[in-house]
């Protein structure tokens, strides 16, 4: 009888230890996610590979955890809405949140920008394929033809084989599609 009660006590102790370990891990995960989300919301302007339109600022609308270390971020500047994914972790001494491999994706999860590691590096521009018609990160539409308006706040792209020729001091105002 003594042995069976000892086995019960050992089993209960093991169960208690495992429960505490599981609770600590889930609290740590929750704290990490809260800390990471706060970092992303505060630093989306530096994390994003796109610049806000007309010198505005980005605001994060939603952050969704795809898995334990990958987030899907929906953010906008009041003119354009962007969707990006990134890997998130903390540095070796748990002092700082590190966001890496940020990329802008479209609604159907096609990669529309180069993959980059962001920790305060300079912004890079959105890249597009020269062999297909333009695809906006907001919506898909055909590009402007030769001699038509391009650029501007709406970010109107030219058809394949054409480039946007910006005139004047303010390229945000737009330009005209010309042959490359």
Burial of 47 (0-12, 13-18, 19+ CB in 10 A): buried
CATH number listed for the domain at residues 34-105: 3.10.450
User: Is 8's pLDDT higher than 80?
Assistant: no
The per-residue pLDDT for range 111-166, each reduced to its tens digit, is: 444 344 443 333 333 333 333 333 333 434 467 888 888 877 667 788 888 888 87
Per-chain mean pLDDT for the chain: 72
Label residues 23-33 b or e (16+ Cβ within 10 Å = b).
eeeeeeeeebb
34-105 shares its CATH topology with 128-180: no
From start to end of 21-148, where are the E strands?
Answer: 59-67, 70-76, 81-90, 97-105
Closest CA to 45 of 123, 100, 111, 157: 123
> CB-based contacts of 114: which residues, under 8 Å, 6+ apart?
49, 103, 124, 127
The per-residue pLDDT for range 38-96, each reduced to its tens digit, is: 999 999 999 998 888 877 899 999 999 999 899 999 999 888 899 999 999 988 887 78
pTM flag (> 0.85): no
Q: Has domain 128-180 been given CATH number 1.10.3470?
A: no
Domain boundaries, the chain: 34-105, 128-180
């Amino acid at each position: 009888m003594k042995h069976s009660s000892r086995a019960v006590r050992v089993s209960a102790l093991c169960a208690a230890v495992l429960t505490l370990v599981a609770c600590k891990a889930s609290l740590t995960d929750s704290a990490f996610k809260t800390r990471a989300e706060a970092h992303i919301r505060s630093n989306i302007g530096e994390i994003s590979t796109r610049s806000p339109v007309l010198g505005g600022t980005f605001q994060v609308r939603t952050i969704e955890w795809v898995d334990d270390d990958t987030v899907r971020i929906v953010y906008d500047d009041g003119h354009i809405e962007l969707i990006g994914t990134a890997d998130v972790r903390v540095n070796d001494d748990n002092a700082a949140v590190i966001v890496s491999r940020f990329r802008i994706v479209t609604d159907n999860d096609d990669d529309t920008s180069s993959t980059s590691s962001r920790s305060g590096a300079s912004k890079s521009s959105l890249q597009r394929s020269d062999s297909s018609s333009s695809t906006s990160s907001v919506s898909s539409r055909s590009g402007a033809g030769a001699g038509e308006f391009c650029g501007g706040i709406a970010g109107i792209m030219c058809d394949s084989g054409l480039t946007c020729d910006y005139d004047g001091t303010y390229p945000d105002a737009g330009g005209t599609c010309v042959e490359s």
